[in-house]
Structure 1
Amino acid sequence: METIQIVTADQTILAAKKFTPAGEVTAVVVMPAAMGVAQSFYLPFAEFLAENGIAVLSFDYRGMGESIPVEFRDSLRGFRANLNDWAEQDYNAALHAAKAWQPAVPLLVVGHSLGGQLPGLVPDHGLIDGMLTVGSGSGYWRDNAPALKRIVWLMWYFVVPLFTRLCGYFPGKKLRMVGNLPKGVIYQWSRWCRSPYYFADKFGLRLQTAHHKMQIPILSMSFTDDELMSRRSIDSLHDYYSGAQVERRYIHPQEVDAKRIGHFGFFRPQFRHTLWQQALQWLLATPSKPPI
């Protein structure tokens, strides 16, 4: 593992990590994180892929993990970022960094939750040859998993407006909700999650995205015991990828001899011989797109 920096088009410095296989490289994976999750969470899975010939580039969005500037480590008050910055600048820069690093092999994405939502907002999504989504679905609150749906409206309509206004950012760590998020990110995400379209503009109207333009293979791995995403939310998101060849695997924990998987469990090393093998075989079989 090598720690590097990625410089975005707007000159923001992101913390990133490269995982290089010891032998021949068969593909390169960009691993964008879920909302409020640092790239360090994905380290075991990244190492597993590298052990099996796949180079991996992980990164933290601006204002997250190791990409928080020193002066904002104690508080994100005043830190400027929104989801468009994460997609158009950070995600886009990571794709270019991966392509420059490994230009001769397929460029794939393993997108956990938010990481599988954002590609339609990434300007150069055409660099992507294939994508594995893990627990990725629409965040529209009425389509959340039943247990969450009963309480999440409180977050979007009361908790987020109140505490973000008081603190100047969303203090998710103290509230044990999601994690600390910049004000612009939480306000935009809140707007999305209150909209049946999910991707909504500042007026609540459906945002015109490029998801439908992505003509790539996509494997969706989702789980029946996901505490955040329902099957309806999973399907709703992947319906946006109308031009892609989408394979949907809706997996029950018993299918992989587990009591629980949930929204975050896929990335636990206990699934090295089950879920991780499924993902690996699919990633290894995904070819580069033919040149235009």
Structure 2
Amino acid sequence: MSEITNREITIICEDNYPLAATVYQPNDGVKGAVLIGPATGIKRQFYTAFAQFLASHDYGVLTYDNRGIGDSLQGDIGKHPASLQCWGQLDQPAAIRALTQEFPQSNYHLIGHSAGGQLIGLASNAKELTSMFNFASSSGRLLNMKIRDQFKSHFFMNMFIPFSNLLFGHTKSQWFGMGEPLPAAVGHQWRTWCNGGGYVKTAFGKTIDKHYFEELTLPALWVNAVDDFIANDKNVKDMMAVSPNIKGQTMTLDPKEYGLKEIGHMKFFSRRASKLWQIPLTWLDTHSG
């Protein structure tokens, strides 16, 4: 197990927006470099224990906050213009570029959590990645959920988000235990994309003129959990279909098989679920040769 050093950096995006980020540097050399793509509204500190675990196994790691979230929020959230689309088109490419600068002459991997894996085909430099490991990344399509889950999802997406945006000028997703408050355009786009099929695909030819989903050919492992009603098997396949040339594999986890009470959409990165972390570590070791 390597000793590690971490430090805070600022990533400057193409439009000069600054993002807060943390770099985890193994002191005994680097086998590969990993970008952790955050879920919607989730701060980078959520992934600290997981990043430290990877770094202790000789992987350089970079975590970051999307614009409008955590330490990357500038000004009043009610006036912030951030959208899911700009997270993919501006923030993620800048994070990939920072990863290559921090760990030159390495191999590069994305570990995407939910939106962190969903948006990768919007990044112009995504083809610099050697592999991708996604957890809970799916289209989130409401119609692919079980009926009982559709009711609460429709309430959140189609009633609460527009109501919150109208009343407060942003989406108070934290009221539902879903991370940080979201800029209004993030909430609106999230709602629109989950009401359609293929998530981001619903915006092709509308707000998105250029994307790279069909150009990606990297190996990818898409992992979900049986107790995640959002990233269920149907929605994982729906999202995978947006990148038809990716060499994709799937794995569905049952918390009972690992002695866990739950995994769901978020708990994979919890310290309590650290026994699961051998799965991405093995994936990285296999694709870092």
What TM-score, normalized to structure 1?
0.91
C-alpha distance in 1, partners of 2:226/2:133?
A: 17
- CA deviation string 1:27-82 (max 9, x = no partner): 1001110011111100000000000000000000000011112x33xxx1111111
Q: How has the CA–CA distance of structure 1 residues 187 and 59 changed in structure 2, closer, same or farther, with 3 Å as cutoff?
A: same
- More divergent stretch after superposition (176-185 vs 241-250): 176-185
> What SS does the corresponding residue of 1:14 show, helix, strand or coil?
strand
Q: Where do residues 1-292 of structure 1 align in structure 2 (5 Å cutoff)? A: 1-69=6-74, 71-72=75-76, 76-144=77-145, 147-174=148-175, 176-199=177-200, 200-201=202-203, 209-272=211-274, 274-287=275-288
Alpha-carbon distance, 1:21 to partner? 0.6
Q: How has the CA–CA distance of structure 1 residues 62 and 206 changed in structure 2, closer, same or farther, with 3 Å as cutoff?
A: closer
Contact 1:223 1:262 in 2 (8 A): yes
C-alpha distance in 2, partners of 1:123/1:146?
A: 37
How many residue pairs were aligned?
Answer: 283
Contact 1:140 1:197 in 2 (8 A): yes
C-alpha distance in 2, partners of 1:247/1:153?
A: 30
Q: How has the CA–CA distance of structure 1 residues 51 and 170 changed in structure 2, closer, same or farther, with 3 Å as cutoff?
A: same
* Aligned-partner residue type, residue 97 of structure 1: A
Contact 2:198 2:239 in 1 (8 A): no
- More divergent stretch after superposition (12-21 vs 188-197): 188-197
C-alpha distance in 2, partners of 1:172/1:287?
A: 37
Alpha-carbon distance, 1:197 to partner? 3.4
> What SS does the corresponding residue of 1:109 show, helix, strand or coil?
strand
Contact 2:22 2:64 in 1 (8 A): yes
C-alpha distance in 2, partners of 1:159/1:228?
A: 17
- More divergent stretch after superposition (223-232 vs 105-114): 223-232
> What SS does the corresponding residue of 2:86 show, helix, strand or coil?
helix
* Aligned-partner residue type, residue 285 of structure 2: L
C-alpha distance in 2, partners of 1:178/1:250?
A: 24
> What SS does the corresponding residue of 1:20 show, helix, strand or coil?
strand
Q: How has the CA–CA distance of structure 1 residues 11 and 152 changed in structure 2, closer, same or farther, with 3 Å as cutoff?
A: same
> What SS does the corresponding residue of 1:35 show, helix, strand or coil?
coil
> What SS does the corresponding residue of 1:99 show, helix, strand or coil?
helix
Contact 1:141 1:149 in 2 (8 A): yes
- CA deviation string 1:143-180 (max 9, x = no partner): 23554312211222221112201111112224545531
Q: How has the CA–CA distance of structure 1 residues 19 and 166 changed in structure 2, closer, same or farther, with 3 Å as cutoff?
A: same
C-alpha distance in 2, partners of 1:45/1:67?
A: 21
Q: How has the CA–CA distance of structure 1 residues 257 and 120 changed in structure 2, closer, same or farther, with 3 Å as cutoff?
A: same
C-alpha distance in 2, partners of 1:250/1:190?
A: 25
What root-mean-square deviation, in Å, do the aligned CA atoms of Structure 1 and Structure 2 show? 2.0
> What SS does the corresponding residue of 1:25 show, helix, strand or coil?
coil
> What SS does the corresponding residue of 2:138 show, helix, strand or coil?
coil
Alpha-carbon distance, 1:239 to partner? 2.2
Q: How has the CA–CA distance of structure 1 residues 162 and 225 changed in structure 2, closer, same or farther, with 3 Å as cutoff?
A: same
C-alpha distance in 1, partners of 2:190/2:31?
A: 35
Contact 2:81 2:183 in 1 (8 A): yes
Contact 2:198 2:242 in 1 (8 A): no
Contact 1:77 1:182 in 2 (8 A): yes
C-alpha distance in 2, partners of 1:173/1:188?
A: 17
* Aligned-partner residue type, residue 60 of structure 2: A
Contact 1:145 1:228 in 2 (8 A): no
Percent identity for Structure 1 against Structure 2: 27
Contact 1:147 1:227 in 2 (8 A): no
C-alpha distance in 2, partners of 1:197/1:184?
A: 19
- CA deviation string 1:86-145 (max 9, x = no partner): 111110000000011112111100000111100111111111110000111112111235
